[in-house]
A and B are shown apart, each in its own frame.
Chain A
């Protein structure tokens, strides 16, 4: 039962952390809650579909379909997170200070919401499909003890969601003047971590060279299967034995998004200060 709980916890945790951070980051975007829930539901439905087509996806592209699929899902998620962060860099402060009712950027807000929908949907899709497969395997095995394992699955799901909620609740307590920096740093690291994971899948499929593999090995000090390692993996993309190419992807995503945020923020400083004066 505990084995099951741990596996499900790990899968659910990654999605829960992403959702917790994104939910906190978009708390002032009008309609964000509805889109978040819609993304969650769409992701769950998508997980079931992906899980049932695992063999089909896996056999595509002579056996590396799964890696390509994962890399594409991660790639889209990175783009969406990047867009979200850059958008928040230019609208976030305005959203918070001028309250929800202003609605000067309703169209933009709606676009932010559809991005939110995609991010949550993709996060759930990726982690959810593995959980569905795992639980299906248990249910289909028919070797007894299923109810205790399914109970373990439920326990893992609850714990994973609880951590996600704790991150969300914790972020909401961050004082306003730190709030945007805190959430955007977290989203930034999430995106970089996902870019590194995408590279990882493409290396596994031999579509990218690994460069140095591993570049370093910190598995003795901070193993990836321990709780701190799991948390850091989900939060900042920690990898105990990363390939050089993963670091290239990580840094490229990080630097590109930071430049994008700076670029988006600069011309708006003047505008924001005038609206602030009104």
Chain B
């Protein structure tokens, strides 16, 4: 009984998590965090905030995503639903430093 109650309590949380926002910040041509853990099997709204003055292109072959983010601005994109695993991404305009990975669990 208690378990059922707990499960029902979790439902609204689970629903909320379905379109939860995750944020990546670009600063000095690096992603923060460089490792982002997200739930697998869910569509994810990803907000990317570019705090640098220069534009960056968020790109991931594994996620099949690419998006230019102008300097000092934000952009939204959707990823997933993802299978569990590691999905590397990088900033195409500063590939040497701007790297990271999304980990779906």
Contact = CB atoms under 8 A, between A and B. Distances in A.
Interface in B15-65: 43, 45, 47, 53-57, 61-62, 64-65
B77 A137 contact: no
Contact of B73 (A55, A62, A242): A55
A49 to B, nearest CB: 14
A227 interface: no
A205 B77 contact: yes
Nearest to A225: B61
Nearest to B45: A206
A141 interface: yes
Q: On chain B, which size bracket covers the interface?
A: 20 to 34
A137 B55 contact: yes
Q: How large is the interface on A (under 10, 10 to 19, 20 to 34, 35 or more residues)?
A: 20 to 34
Contacts of B53: 140
Nearest to B81: A213
Nearest to B59: A225
Q: By CB atoms of chain A within 10 A, which of B61, B71, B76, B92 has the most? A: B76
A228 interface: no
Contacts of A240: 61, 64
A3 interface: yes
Contacts of B55: 54, 133-134, 136-137
A214 B64 contact: yes
A59 interface: yes
A170 interface: no
B54 A63 contact: no
A137 B50 CA distance: 13
B56 to A, nearest CB: 8
Contacts of A141: 54
28 contacts: A3-B95, A7-B93, A54-B55, A54-B68, A55-B70, A58-B73, A59-B73, A59-B74, A63-B74, A63-B77, A66-B67, A67-B67, A133-B57, A133-B93, A134-B55, A134-B92, A137-B54, A137-B56, A137-B71, A137-B93, A204-B67, A204-B77, A206-B43, A206-B45, A213-B64, A213-B81, A239-B64, A240-B61
A224 interface: yes
Given A134-B55, A137-B93, A140-B53, A204 B65 contact: yes
B61 to A, nearest CB: 6
Interface in A37-68: 54-55, 58-59, 62-64, 66-67
B13 interface: no
A241 interface: yes
A84 interface: no
A198 interface: no
B13 to A, nearest CB: 22
